[in-house]
Structure 1
Amino acid sequence: MHGTILKRPEGGVSMRLEGKVCMITGAASGIGKAASLLFVQEGAIVAACDVSETSLNTLVEEAKDLPGKVEPYVLDVTNREQVKEVVESIVQKYGRIDVLVNNAGITRDALLVRMKEEDWDAVINVNLKGVFNVTQAVVPHMIKQRSGSIINVSSVVGVYGNPGQTNYAASKAGVIGMTKTWAKELAGRNIRVNAVAPGFIETPMTEKLPDKAREAALSRIPLGRFGKPEEVAQVYLFLASDESSYITGQVIGVDGGLVI
């Protein structure tokens, strides 16, 4: 039996998220920016949340001629009061939040014996508690509307570990644990929760890698290159759209075969 081929409407614009209100954290750089622009291209209203107002302004400018719309919000995901205010503001303006992409993340790398407590705390607060903070504020609205898609951004490091990244690996493994738990808790309300686990992607975060580390990473990737932010954003788009309506509780690797 052949699957249905989804045809693009006339004019070549697919508009897979037309009219959907999508909240994206870490929306103004790297993978988050690629996702924001792709979602807007697909007709979404993107509530773009980021700590950098300057980067948000650049994003708004770049998205201005696309079919959807970017609504910028300066947001620190570690600040629970600010998170509540931003979520309430989005719901007040648009009446709903259809998609949440928990994309904000930081690194503070060091070997275990050298890792400072403040670097452990900073990464856990943004990458793990930040995901908890934002999701806890958004979910009551999704429960009320009896629909939603939550996309949590983990990492291959959260599945397989990586020397020098105790804090990052712990935070990203925790995100997977929360994803599977929430998928079970929320399925009865028609809310899907999935995680995406990128490998090495060309972003400001990986640009800091020393040449030796970059070469070592490339040697382990069967596809022989780092990924592009847009390639991860396409997976976010699939999980945000109705095309993934029977997928929940999954961890989808986007890593060029790194883990095989």
Structure 2
Amino acid sequence: MVDRLKGKIALITGGARGQGREMAELFMREGATAVIAADVLDAEGAETSPVTFVKLDITKKDEWKSVIDAIIAEHGRLDILINNAAICLYEPILETTDEIYDRVLDVDLKSIFYGMREVLPHMIAQKAGSIVNVSSIWGLAGVDSSYAYQAAKGAILNVSKNVAITHGQDGVRCNSLHPGYILSPMNEHQAPEINAALIAGTAVKRPGIPIETAYAALFLASDEASYVTGTSLVVDGGYLAP
């Protein structure tokens, strides 16, 4: 531990498991005063973790307000927001129903709108804040399925740039993070042939692990990235390099 987040208060969505949980635990090891991991799922081992776990349905703006109001009431500030929670469905466009499209965009994109809109006034008031919106390599390149997922992940890149430009002079930084194939509960039921193709497409010929995206999020969240905003950080083992 080198206290890269000493004194910081962070909120991470999708923090009960997978890369979100890894981020939350890492942020605490790096000296954060408090890390609040928000999720609709129960977190295993919560009683032995220094992370604070709360329930949040990210598609409901009233729940966003309740969680953030509680953080401000207890800690007086919120320094870091990591919008990490997401779902992935695999239907190509001709198999994407209105219900699939709306569900994926509500979880993966509209939730980020709700979160940033609720957090920004507090960050602007304190003249400091870092927002990291977790996108995907499919926010940067095409894929022959997952139409709704790709629509959301591509939009995350541009809404992050929008907030970076709009609120840079307010002391708020906003960046997008683009993981490739990371071993996590989100993709544990993915077809083996898809996994094999994703691994074969990397330069390092292996999947990523959650701690590797967590370290990237740590950099973007920390003051080490004080001159980094409006950018897109790719963590994909070289998948998009060709």
TM-score, normalization by structure 1: 0.90
Following TM superposition, by how much is the alpha carbon of 1:214 offset from its aligned partner in structure 2, in angstroms? 1.5
- CA deviation profile, 1:185-204 (whole Å, cap 9, x unmatched): 01001111011000000011
Deviates more, 1:227-236 or 1:215-224: 215-224
For residues 26-67 of structure 1, the C-alpha deviation after alignment (integer angstroms, 9 at most, x for no partner) is 111111010001001112110110011x22xx2533424xxx
1:173-192, aligned counterparts within 5 Å?
173-192=154-173
| Alignment: residue pair count | 240
Tell me the distance in 1 between the aligned counterparts of 2:166 and 2:45: 34
Report the equivalent of 2:25.
Answer: 37
Which one of the candidate residues 105, 126, 135 is aligned to 2:107?
A: 126
Matching residue within 47, 52, 56 for 1:61: 47
Matched residue, 1:51: 40
Query: How far has the Cα of 1:112 moved from its partner?
Result: 1.5
Within the candidate set 93, 108, 123, 2:89 is matched to 108
Q: Measure how far apart 1:208 and its partner are.
A: 1.5
* Correspondence for 2:188: 207
Name the Cα RMSD after superposition: 1.0
CA distance in 2, matches of 1:210, 1:174: 26
In structure 1, the residue matched to 2:3 is: 15
Name which of 222, 229, 236 aligns with 1:248.
229
CA contact (8 A) 1:28 1:59 kept: no
Q: Give the secondary-structure state (helix, strand or coil) at the position aligned to 1:106.
A: coil
The reply to whether residue 236 of structure 1 matches residue 192 of structure 2 is: no
Say which SS state the counterpart of residue 160 (structure 1) adopts.
coil
- Gaps spanning 5+ residues in structure 1: where? 1-12, 65-69
Aligned to 1:10: none
Give the residue type in structure 2 aligned to 1:28.
A
Which of these two proteins has the greater Rg computed from alpha carbons? 1
Instruction: State the TM-score, normalizing by the size of structure 2.
Output: 0.96
> Post-superposition shift, 1:257?
0.3
| Distance in 2 between residues matched to 1:77 and 1:249, nearest whole Å | 23
2-side partners of 1:257 and 1:59: how far apart?
34
Equivalent pair of 2:160/2:176 in contact (CA under 8 Å): yes
Whether the 8 Å CA contact 2:16–2:53 is kept in 1: the answer is no
Q: Which residue of 2 aligns with 1:28?
A: 16
SS of the counterpart of 1:49? Answer: strand
CA distance in structure 2 between the partners assigned to 1:117 and 1:15 by the alignment: 46
Q: Secondary structure at the match of 1:184?
A: helix
What stretches of structure 2 of length at least 5 have no aligned partner? Answer: none
Any runs of at least 4 consecutive aligned residues in structure 1 with deviations exceeding 6 A, and if so which?
none
Residues in 2 aligned to 1:213 and 1:86: alpha-carbon distance in whole angstroms: 37
Q: Distance in 2 between matches of 1:199 and 1:178?
A: 20
Indicate conservation of the 8 Å contact 1:77/1:130, yes or no: yes
